[in-house]
Structure 1
C-alpha cells in the first residue's frame, strides 16, 4: 500500500469516503461545541481573577492593613504614656498629645474597617474604649494621685495584654484569620487553574478543527481559504495567548499583594518600643501604600476582558457563517 505523498493527500485519502455534507456538519458541530466551551471557561476563569483583585482591594487588604495599624497604635499609646511617667512629664501641658493621637487613630482605623471584614469587631471596639478610658483617667483625673494612677495604668495594661482576652491577643487572632482570608483570595485555586487548562485545550481542538474545515472547503467545495474561518482561526490564537498572559500578569500582582500583606502583619507583630514602634508604623504605611498602588493598577484587565468577550462571541459566530453558508447549499438541494 503506497503512502500519500503529502499531508494534504493523506487527509484527502482519510476523508474521501465521507460525504461532503456530513463532513461539514461534523466540523460545524465540533467547532460550535469547542468554541462555546473555550469561551465560557476563558471568561469565567478571567472574571475570577478580576473578582479576586476586587475583593482584595475593597475588603481583605484594608482589613489586614487596619488591624496592623490598630495594633501598632495601641502599643505606641502605651509606650508614650510609660515614657511620660518615667520622665515625670505627666503634668506638663500638652505632654499627652501623642498618646491621644495614637488612640484616636486606632479608633478611627478600627471603625473604618468594620465594612471590610465579616469578623465581629464589637468586643475589640469595647476593649479599645475601656483601654483609652483607663489611660485617660491615669493621665488626667489621677495624675496627682500616684497610687490611683498606678492602679489605672495596671488596669489599662491588663486590658491590653491579658492572655487570650486582652486587646492585643484578640487583635492577633483577628490578624491571623484575616491574613489567611486574604491569602486564600489572592491564591489561584485548582478549580481556576483547571478552567485555564480547559480553555487552552478547547482552543487547541478548535484551531485544529478550523484548519481541517478550511482544508475540506478548499478540497471538496473548490473554494479558496474562507475569510470567516481564517478570521476565526486568528481570533482563536489571540484568545489562546492574550487573556492568559493578562491573567498571569494580574495573578503576579495578586501574589505580590499577598506577600506585602504578610509583611504588614509581620511588621505589626514584632516586639519593639519607642522609636522602633514609630518605624514599624512607617513601614506599615509604606507597604499599605504599595498595596493600594498594586491593586489600583489593574484597570486595564477590564479592557482585556471586554476584548475577550467580543473575540469569543466572534469565534462562536464566524465558523457558523463560514460553514453554514456552504451547508445551506447542500440543505437546499435536499
Structure 2
C-alpha cells in the first residue's frame, strides 16, 4: 500500500472559484482578496486580516510593523521551520532563543522573562504541531514589559487555548497556506490583528509601500499613488484567494474533525504500543497540523527508513534551527545550548495526518509504525 505524507483537499468548488477569477479582469490583488480577508477575519473572530504570499512574508511584515529593526532582539524558539527565525533577520533583528517544553516542543514560556533585555522588541512564539502556547501567561509577560507578541500560527489555524484563538489578544498572528497546510493555495499566507493601524501598515508594506493598490485606484478613481515607506512584493493575488475562500469556515472544521478522529486513533494505538508522543494540553483545541511520534534517537533514522520503505510517507519536523550551519557560523550556537529542542529534533518522526486518509490507510499506518519501532 502506498500512502502519501499529505494530500490536499482542493476540489471542484475551489477550481470553479479559480476559473471565475481567470475569466475576470483582475488576476492580481482585488475584490476576491478582500472577500477572503473578510472570511478569514470572521472565522478567527478578529477585525482585520491581510492576505499575503506566505507566512514568511506575514512574519517579516508583522515584525516591521511592531517596530523591529537593526539592533533589536526578538525572543523565539529554536524548534520550528527555519522561516520563523529567518523572518527576524529579514526585519533586521537578532534572534534570541529559549528552550522548549520537554514534553510538548512548544516554547517554554517560563524561560522567556529571563531572556528579556533592554534590546528586546518582540516575542515570537510558535504554536508547534497545532497546539497553542500558553497565551494567557505569555500575554501577562508582554503587558508587564510592554513587548508585543507576534504569533507564528502556521500550524494552528483551527486552534484555541483557554478560549483564545490565534491573533485575538496579541499584536497579531501569522498563517500559512502552503501546500501541506489544512487550507491551501499552494503558496500563501496572512496576517491577522486587532489593530487597524497594524493592518493598514502591513497592507501598505505588502505592495512596495505604495499608498493605494491598483484595484483601490480603479475603484476610487485615484490617478496616482505615493510611496512613503519601504515595502516589499508580498501581496496575495485573486487566484490564491479564490482557492482559499471555499475552504474557510465549515469545511475547515469538518476536515479538522476527521483529522481529530485519526489523531485520537493514533494516540490510543501508539500509547498501547509504548510509543511516545507530545503531551496535549487541557482546555485546548488542537489544530492537528502535524502528528509527531518521538522514538529512540539512535534508531530514529532506521525507523524512518522502514516506514518509508513500507510505502508510508514520513518526514522529520524539525531539525534544531540553532544547529544549522548558517546560524552556528553567524551566532556561535553549539550543541547542548537548548537540550530539550535538540532531543526532540533527534527523536521526531511525522506521520500522515490529513482528512482524505481512509480507515484502512490509517490502520496500515498504525501497523507500519508499530512494526518499525519494534524492529
The alignment's TM-score, normalised by the length of structure 1, stands at 0.22
Greater relative contact order (CA < 8 Å, ≥ 6 in sequence): 1
Q: Could you say which structure has the larger radius of gyration?
A: 1
Richer in helix (by share) = 1
The alignment's TM-score, normalised by the length of structure 2, stands at 0.20
Richer in strand (by share) = 2
